[in-house]
Amino acid sequence: MRPTAALLRRLRRGLRRPSLGALIIFLVIVFAAARGPLRTTLWPGGPDAAPVREPRAEDRIVQIVDGDTVIGAVHGTIRVLSIDTPESGRPLFDEATAALAHLVGGKQVELLFDVETVDRYGRALAHVLVADGDARLLAGEELVRRGLASVFIIPPNMLFAERLKAAQKEAVLNDRGLWALPPPAPEPYYIVGAYKFHRPSCVHAAQIPNPRRQKDRKAILAEGKSPCRNCAP
Ligand SMILES: [Zn+2]
């Protein structure tokens, strides 16, 4: 009995030591794994710093469709989230397309998904990030800052909304790109919603909850509101 008990004690001690060591190593690995994404967090602060665990994916951009749509080798057609660029034939279409091509064309990019990851046309919806030296650029934000895209926020996809609105404010106040073009036929006032603004006659203006009337178009744009695509105010 005695030798057996001693053997068992020794066995337990022997087991206990390596298992404690293994536990420490395990915890170190878990801690390092948990820290990993934090180190690569692109936006260390700010009003809408990217969450650490948001879905991400890598892709390589193989084709540029226009200023807000690209084709990735993995994800196919990708609509850049929360921006809108001029349609073909409209002023600055070529400039917006060329700017996006310069930023991400042929490059390895990181896609950041928001709540809705695919639209009704089957396109992937994502923010597109690209390396720029040690930093990373949010492609959509760059276009908005240059006045080549307007902010186009569609809830529930709110990631980077505040950054994009700030970029549009900068572009509008500096009369860049779209905001240097002659404004469309003015209205005595506009109907302003949470994300867009309209001409008073627009059918969509009637659907806005808590609409606000405002006269100063530039001030509305500087707030980061999108011109309605139907009434083009
Ligand atoms: Zn409208």
Domains of the chain, by residue range, sit at 1-39, 56-173, 182-227
- pLDDT for res 13: 56
CA of 156 relative to ligand 1 center, distance in Å: 20
Distance in Å from the first CA to the final CA of the chain: 93
Q: What is the DSSP letter of 96?
A: H
- Is the C-alpha dihedral spanning 131, 108, 55, 70 positive or negative? positive
- pLDDT for res 233: 96
- What is the residue-level pLDDT of the chain in tens, covering all 233 positions? 455 555 556 545 544 555 655 555 555 444 444 433 322 334 433 444 444 445 899 999 999 999 999 999 999 999 999 999 999 999 999 999 999 999 999 999 999 999 999 999 999 999 999 998 888 999 999 999 999 999 999 999 999 999 999 999 999 999 999 999 998 999 999 999 999 999 999 999 999 988 999 999 999 999 999 999 999 99
- pLDDT for res 177: 98
CA of 64 relative to ligand 1 center, distance in Å: 28
- pLDDT for res 193: 95
Contact at 8 Å (CB) between 119 and 77?
A: no
CA of 63 relative to ligand 1 center, distance in Å: 32
Which protein residues have a CB closer than 5 Å to ligand 1 (ion)? 198, 202, 204, 228, 230-231
Taking the model in full, what pTM does it have?
A: 0.76
Residues in the chain: 233
- pLDDT for res 55: 87
> What is the number of alpha carbons within 13 Å of residue 98 lying toward its C-beta?
5
- Nearest partner of 214 among 202, 197, 228, judged by Cα: 197
CA of 190 relative to ligand 1 center, distance in Å: 9
Select the CATH number that applies to the domain covering 56-173 from these four: 3.30.70.270, 3.30.420.40, 2.40.50.90, 3.30.200.20. Answer: 2.40.50.90
